[in-house]
Chain A
């Protein structure tokens, strides 16, 4: 059980990277990158987890109760929203490439010259 979370995070990273490397469609590439990015979220929040602890919100509990790590949650929280915006930027880039070369295949986009 303990190794399962770390193994799943590593698996998501490698499968996402494999998708990026062997992709033949720009949108598929961006979504595989999104999977690889979410592996870091899973790993970080998993590191902060404590068995039997509550979420770090103390409006109805005393702060003396054991709670999970709030710092990694803060890091991942901002990352989720900003990462989605960056994915949108990448999709805009993919759309522009499609407008120029009429294809979403990364192998069809020729390098620019001159």
Chain B
């Protein structure tokens, strides 16, 4: 179990860095969606299933959706 947590932590650090260094816009929302999934996975491994449930729905679905809507609005109204 500890090895698994260590691997997911390294993937998490890499995913967080990827979110920050992805500066093009629709791409960053997708990377954020993946990041939310990895955080949810880490939370399940740390024995916090309730928190993981909220984090996956919110971080992978709700926030990227709102980001894409904002970008579509800004792009379409020019």
Seen from chain A, the residues whose Cβ lies within 8 Å of a Cβ on chain B are 1, 4-5, 8, 11-12, 15-16, 18-19, 24-25, 27-28, 30-32, 34-35, 38-39, 41-42, 45-46, 48-49, 51, 53-57, 67-68, 73, 76-77, 80-81, 84, 87-88, 91, 94-95, 98-99, 102, 104
User: Is the beta-carbon distance between B54 and A81 smaller than 8 angstroms?
Assistant: yes
Chain A residue with Cβ nearest B71: A27
Chain A residue with Cβ nearest B44: A55
Which residues of the other chain, B, contact A28 by a CB distance below 8 angstroms?
A: 23, 25, 28
B42 within 8 A of A: yes
Chain A residue with Cβ nearest B62: A84
**Number of inter-chain CB pairs below 8 Å:** 123
Q: Which of B9-45 contact A (CB under 8 A)?
A: 9-10, 12-13, 16-17, 19-21, 23, 25, 28-29, 32, 35, 39, 42-43
| CA A53 to CA B47, docked complex, whole Å | 8
| CA A71 to CA B51, docked complex, whole Å | 12
